[in-house]
Amino acid sequence: MATSAKQNAGASAVVLPSRQKKRPFWTVMKRCVQIAAAVDVMFFIIFFALGSPILAWINVVSVSMYAAAYLCLAKRKNFVAICLIWIEVLGHAALGTVMVGWESAFHYYLLMFIPAIFVSTKTSKAIAAVFALWCFYIGLNAMTYFTSPREPLPPEALTALRYFNISVVFAMFSYLSSYYYSKIVEGQRHLGMLAMTDPLTGLYNRRHILDVANYEAVQQKRAPSGLAFIIADVDYFKRINDSYGHDVGDAVLIAVSNTISKSIREQDSAARWGGEEFLIVLPNTNLNDALLIADRIRKNIATTTVPVDQEAISTTATLGVSSYRVGESVSNAIAKADECLYKGKKAGRNCVEAAVE
């Protein structure tokens, strides 16, 4: 088990607003614009070499539009950027197809709009946009069926152009697919982390630490090696909140959780149990070793300070320790640690109490 979820969760425990969630989409749009502009530069060279100046200079206009779209994206003028991209792709695909013919495969670039539409637009609008794109695509195909290319290329050049366009579209689709897949995996990981961590401290939450504890209890039935629990409670926490405010109280909880994470071993797991209480699960640990770990945590918390204005406040914690007996319930073992915690509170706080085996 990891020491805690804090190192993995961090700021990811904060739920992002919808505008921030779409930022990765606009980032990938910038990259696509750069790639498309580079492809158009290549088209300029190709058509200029083939002796088709009109087709060559069309790409100069395209590069200019992509440059303008990139600047708009950089300034977050996303609507203007998308309009420029739509005009360029639709116009370029139509002109290329009309000038060279359907066999040039310029029309395949239109298909790249489909995934982008569904990612960036509401479903109802996306369906309407895709339908309009389909109508444009069918209309372009019908027009080339009844008309001849305005600037036909030699068969060898047309074949090379077709394979070039198909290769570019495959490369772009592969890039976009890889990007969207990585975002799906990242989103699932983020949701999983949110489901198991406490949003304030980054430690595991109560539900997940119980899953961890029950898992370790099952392992004890298979191969007994010792399992212990520690419950830590911040002393006089209400006094801190009343004197300094809840923001400082939160800062104290974060500082204490960081101290706990640094004080336990790699195989141990820590969680915010509730309020100012923390639960630590110690696998492969007997009661004596658990007492040593608990006392180390207590000492480290006592030396932890939180800066407030011109002063630094400190706090202490009381800890209860219990060991798990094979066959008993996890809740009973944790309850024993909780009873010891209250004994420590009555004994004067800033101490460690252990359940007698």
**Whole-angstrom distance, CA of residue 329 vs CA of residue 318:** 24
- 165, 195, 225: which is the final residue of a domain? 195
Tell me what the mean pLDDT of segment 123-138 comes to: 92
Position 263 in a domain: yes
Total domains in the fold of the chain: 2
Q: Which of 170-174, 190-194, 209-213, 252-256 has the lowest mean pLDDT?
A: 190-194
pLDDT band for 23, please (50, 70, 90 cuts).
Answer: low
Q: Which domain holds residue 177?
A: 7-195
Contact criterion met (CB below 8 Å) for 73 and 82: no
pLDDT for 27 equals 77
How many angstroms separate the most distant Cα atoms in the chain? 96
Structural contact between residues 20 and 216, judged by C-beta atoms closer than 8 angstroms = no
If asked whether residues 90 and 23 sit together in one domain, one would say yes
pLDDT tens sequence across 167-204: 999 988 888 888 878 877 887 888 888 889 999 999 99
Whole-angstrom Cα distance, residue 103 to residue 70?
Answer: 30
342 is a domain residue: yes
201 inside domain: no
Cα dihedral angle (251, 257, 262, 267), rounded to 10 degrees?
-160
pLDDT reading at 3 higher than 70: no
pLDDT score, position 189: 83
Q: Both 19 and 160 in a single domain?
A: yes
Instruction: Assess whether pLDDT exceeds 70 at residue 16.
Output: no
Q: What is the DSSP letter of 223?
A: S
Residues 11 and 122 in one domain: yes
Could you give the residue ranges of the DSSP H alpha helices within 203-325? 206-222, 237-244, 246-263, 287-302
Residues 191 and 255 both lie in one domain: no
Check whether 21 has a pLDDT greater than 60: no
Domain boundary among 195, 230, 252: 195
pTM of the shown model: 0.61
Last residue of a domain, one of 176, 195, 214: 195
- What pLDDT does residue 307 have? 92
Q: Is 356 exposed, middle or buried (0-12, 13-18, 19+ CB in 10 A)?
A: exposed
CATH code of 300's domain: 3.30.70.270
Average confidence (pLDDT) over 250-276: 96
Residue 231 in 3-state DSSP?
A: strand
Give yes or no: residues 188 and 210 share one domain: no
Domain match, 20 and 116 both: yes
The confidence score (pLDDT) of residue 187 equals 78
**What does the block give as tokens for 39?**
């492809």
